[in-house]
Structure 1
Amino acid sequence: MDENWDDLRLFLAVSRLGGLSAAQEKTGLSPATLGRRITALERQIGVPLFVRRQTGYVLTEAGQDLLAHAEEVERAMLVVARWREGTQTQRSVRLSAGNWTTDFLVRNIDAVWTSDDPAIEFVMANARIDIGHRAADIGIRNARPTDPHMAGRKVGSVAFALYGTLEQSPDSSIVGLSGDTSTSPSARWMAAQLGHKMRLRGNGVHAVRELVAQGAGLSVLPCFIGDEDARLCRMGPVIADLSTEQWLVAHHDERHSPPIRRVIEKLVTLFDEAGPLFSGQRPGAIHPEAEQG
Structure 2
Amino acid sequence: MMGNWDDLRLFLAVAREQSLSGAGKLLRLDPATLGRRMARLEKTMQAVLFVKSPSGYALTEAGVQLLSRAEAAEQAMRQATADVVVPSDQLAGQIRIGAPDGCANYLLPQVCARLVADNPGLDIQIVALPRVFNLSRREADMAIGVSAPTAGRLVVQKIADYQLHLAAADSYLAARPAIRTVADLQGHRLVGYIPDMIFDRELDYLAELGMTRVPLASNSVSVQVNMIRQGGGVGIVHDFSLPATPGVTRILTGDVHLSRAFYLIRHEDDRRNLRLSRFAEALAQGVRAEVAKLEAIA
TM-score range, shorter chain: 0.5 to 0.7
Structure 2: which 5+ runs fail to align? 180-184
Q: Does 1:98 align with 2:114?
A: no
After superposition, give the CA deviation of every residue in 1:191-235 in whole Å (9 maximum; x if it has no partner). 9x756451x456753343233134321123234435996732135
Match of 1:288 in 2: none
Quick one: which amino acid aligns to residue 19 of structure 2?
G
After superposition, give the CA deviation of every residue in 1:225-281 in whole Å (9 maximum; x if it has no partner). 359967321355246xxx654312234536662674365167258638958x98xxx
Structure 1: which 5+ runs fail to align? 285-293
Partners of 2:125 and 2:72 in 1: CA distance: 27
Q: Does the 8 Å CA contact 2:2/2:45 hold for their aligned counterparts? A: no
Quick one: which amino acid aligns to residue 121 of structure 1?
I
Partners of 1:38 and 1:115 in 2: CA distance: 39
Of residues 147, 150, 158, the one that matches 1:143 is 147
In structure 1, the residue corresponding to 2:107 is in which secondary structure?
Answer: helix
Partners of 2:60 and 2:48 in 1: CA distance: 7
Of residues 115, 118, 121, the one that matches 2:124 is 121
Offset at residue 98 of structure 1 (A): 2.5
The CA RMSD measured in Å over matched residues stands at 4.8
Match of 1:215 in 2: 231
Q: Does the 8 Å CA contact 1:97/1:124 hold for their aligned counterparts? A: yes
Aligned residues: 272
Offset at residue 93 of structure 1 (A): 7.1
After superposition, give the CA deviation of every residue in 1:93-128 in whole Å (9 maximum; x if it has no partner). 745433322344358749x75965675736141155
- The higher-RCO structure (CA 8 Å, 6+ apart) is 2
Deviates more, 1:262-271 or 1:62-71: 262-271
Match of 2:73 in 1: 73
Offset at residue 17 of structure 1 (A): 1.5
In structure 1, the residue corresponding to 2:270 is in which secondary structure?
Answer: coil
In structure 2, the residue corresponding to 1:232 is in which secondary structure?
Answer: strand
Match of 1:163 in 2: 167
Q: Does 1:264 align with 2:268?
A: no
Q: Share of identical aligned residues, percent?
A: 26
CA gap of 1:175–1:30, structure 2 versus 1, over 3 A, is same
Q: TM-score, normalised by structure 1?
A: 0.65
Q: Does the 8 Å CA contact 1:102/1:122 hold for their aligned counterparts? A: no
Offset at residue 59 of structure 1 (A): 1.9
Q: TM-score, normalised by structure 2?
A: 0.64
